[in-house]
Amino acid sequence: MSFKRVCVAMSGGVDSTGAALLLLRQGYDVFGVTLRLRSDDPRAQEPEIEAARAAAGVLGISHTVLDLRDLFRTAVIDRFVSEYAQGRTPNPCLDCNRAVKFGAMLDWALEQGADALATGHYAGVAFDDVSGRWQLLRGRDRRKDQSYFLYQLTQRQLSHLLLPVGEYEKPALRALAEKAGLANAHRADSQDICFIPEGEYVAFLERHSGAELVPGDFVDQAGRVLGRHRGLPCYTTGQRKGLGVSADTPLYVLDKDPATNTVTLGPDSALYTRELRAKRLNWISIPALEAPMAVTARTRHSQREAAAVAEPLPDGHVLVTFQEPQRAVTPGQAVVFYSGESVVGGGTIVK
């Protein structure tokens, strides 16, 4: 597909600014957009909006602020709160990419006359003539590869997507931005969930759910009470610190049960499993999973891939069996499948 006019999602950081710079140098007609997403604190995003606007000015492109606060609240924040209330640990960046960035923002960009949307994600897009499908590829910089976060993209979305920084390593992109006179060339990367500054997610959940934390029992694998917990949202699978339970050996969070309001603790060895089930599947390199397929898989963005077999189940779920046991597989997180450089697809881990 031949693109001429491209909308670049500009967050104010060097990655998205670098994407705009690269596209301009490749001869595209570029304009920028920054999303206003925070309804809880209208001024919280002002620094990044101003940084994006300033970068657009240096690049000589137009810049728009698009207000998607209502959608962000319902599709991302409300779901985040709901998932935690049900004992799961969601990844809000995945929901934001699906519904907001590559949903509403892409639709808006096309309505403005753009042929494509570009972002600063470290990943790649290519059309495969053999399969007749758009492929999502890993980024060249393996330390920054963000293909995991994009596994929910559809063929339509991929067909209108450019990811120019995917061919670069981060230091090279910073050097390019610095040489172009961009003030954000060395701006620090964002680490926290954007709507939960400094990781204070328990306080955030209390404010936005309208419900107080409900204390309950810590139990061992046999059901024996070990102590009291502060509320299910305070804990996640694999957690060791902050439990407040004394034992002869280190204890870790193994499971959370909303039905009984209990948190099961046990040894590190009990955190390992060779199987998981996933739902809400999205397939990219293939139309559907119709037979067992050898893949490599990640159960968290930060974890290394592991060899596995993905097998379709009659209920529409997928059974994933790993060659080696995996630690702290967490309901609510995503499992993403790879074959070589391509993302096969992925889904949400269920208990």
**Across the chain, how many H-helices and E-strands are there?**
9, 17
Buried b (16+ CB within 10 A) or exposed e, 125-161: beeeeeeebbbbbbbbbeebbbbbbbbbbeeebbebb
How far, in Å, CA of 137 to CA of 160, rounded?
Answer: 15
93 belongs to the catalytic site: no
Over the range 6-15, which residues count as b (16 or more CB within 10 Å of their CB) and which as e? bbbbbbbbbb
Residue 249 neighbours by CB distance under 10 Å: 7
Q: Which of 7, 93, 96, 234 is catalytic?
A: 96
Nearest to 48 by CA among 4, 15, 79: 15
> CA-based angle 51:53:56, to the nearest 5?
110
The answer to whether 198 and 192 are in contact (CB under 8 A) is yes
Catalytic annotation present for 7: no
- Assess contact for 65 and 10: CB atoms under 8 A: no
Catalytic residues: 96, 194
